[in-house]
């Protein structure tokens, strides 16, 4: 197995802790399922959030999935004029038997507009 990087993103409808939890859990469970990733396969997860998100940390929402001792970290996305608002991005590092071409990068909700070239 090799370590693979899997991208994804989701857009919150509103900036609230409940919406963060729902959106992040949906994104991660879909990403894990589509790529056949288990908790034991995970190495680390990096989250970014656009500067207009203030309600909660994406990692706090991810912890509801019982990720145990998986290192999670959050950072702020750069503030680009005209960028899609209320977006949480994720970069998951995980062991996988899949090739780079077989990895499914997951974009949910309004974030599907971000990467039409690789969104599943």
**Over residues 41-66, mean pLDDT:** 96
Question: Is the Cβ–Cβ distance between 1 and 102 less than 8 Å?
Answer: no
- Per-residue pLDDT at 5 exceeds 60: yes
Active-site choice (19, 77, 86, 108): 77
Q: Does the annotation mark 74 as catalytic?
A: yes
- Residue 113 has a pLDDT of 81
Which band of pLDDT confidence, cut at 50, 70 and 90, is reported for residue 37? Answer: very high
How does the average pLDDT of the chain come out, rounded? 94
- Residue 84 has a pLDDT of 94
Active-site choice (34, 63, 95, 109): 63
Q: With CA atoms as reference, report the closest residue to 86 among 111, 118, 53.
A: 53
- Residue 110 has a pLDDT of 86
Q: Does the annotation mark 108 as catalytic?
A: no
Other beta carbons within 10 angstroms of residue 88's beta carbon come to 27
Task: Write out pLDDT tens, residues 57-70.
Answer: 999 999 999 898 99
The residues spanned by each domain of the chain are 2-113
Q: Do β-strands 72-76 and 42-49 pair in parallel, antiparallel, or remain unpaired?
A: parallel
Assign domain 2-113 one CATH number from 3.30.1330.40, 3.40.630.10, 3.90.1150.10, 3.40.1350.10: 3.30.1330.40
Share of the chain above pLDDT 70, in %: 95
Share of the chain above pLDDT 90, in %: 88
Burial class (CB within 10 angstroms; exposed 0-12, middle 13-18, buried 19+) of 6: buried
Residues contacting 25, CB < 8 A, separation 6+: 61, 62, 64, 65
Point out the least confidently predicted range of 21-30, 44-53, 102-111: 102-111
Active-site choice (4, 7, 21, 86): 7
Where helices occur in the chain by DSSP H, the ranges are 17-34, 58-62
- Per-residue pLDDT at 108 exceeds 80: yes
């Amino acid at each position: 197995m090799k370590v693979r990087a899997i991208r994804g993103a989701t857009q919150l409808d509103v900036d609230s802790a409940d919406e963060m939890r729902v959106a992040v859990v949906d994104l991660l469970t879909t990403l894990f399922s589509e790529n056949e990733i288990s908790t034991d396969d995970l190495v680390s997860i990096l989250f970014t959030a656009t500067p207009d998100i203030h309600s909660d940390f994406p990692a706090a929402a991810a912890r509801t999935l019982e990720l145990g001792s998986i290192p999670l970290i959050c950072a702020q996305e750069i503030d680009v004029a005209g960028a899609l608002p209320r977006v949480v991005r994720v970069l998951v590092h995980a062991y996988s038997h899949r090739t780079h071409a077989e990895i499914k990068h997951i974009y949910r909700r309004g974030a599907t507009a971000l990467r039409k070239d690789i969104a599943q």
